[in-house]
Amino acid sequence: MIDHISVGVSNLERSAAFYEATLATLGLTRLVTRPRTVGFGKAYPEFWINLRVGMVRVLPESGVHICLRAKTTGEVDAFHAAALATGGASDGAPGIRPHDRVRYYAAFVTDPDGNRIEAVTFPSG
């Protein structure tokens, strides 16, 4: 249903380093580099970061977040660790999130600009 997504960033170089390390844990690599945008993906750019000069930090109250699928709980853990190691912040440590209809394993982070990104997997058992 969704072809690609993009987020605004205030510092393209810093954010490219953050996303290059963080998205690599989910199998996405940098595929496109342009003066004001970088695209990450597996076969084609699915996740873009776009320079927004003068951008203010995304407010936690915005309620917006992007969720990316991981294959394993180990990938979710690696995603969280990579984000913290490259300037992100934890917005929910890796762990099981039991809900009424589905049980899933996820971690939430914010990038250096406050964009909220989640990695999720659905372990059996």
Tokens of 112: 């250096």
What pLDDT, on a 0 to 100 scale, did the predictor assign at position 125? 63
Is 57 within the bounds of a domain? no
Residues 107-125 pLDDT 10s? 999 999 999 999 999 998 6
The CATH number for 46's domain is 3.10.180.10
Question: Considering the domain boundaries, does residue 59 fall inside one?
Answer: no
* Residue 107: HSE in the Cβ half-sphere, 13 Å Cα cutoff: 25
Report the chain's mean pLDDT, rounded to a whole number: 95
pTM: 0.94
Question: How far apart (Å, rounded) are the C-alpha atoms in residues 103 and 122?
Answer: 7
Which range of residues forms the domain containing residue 39?
5-52+65-121
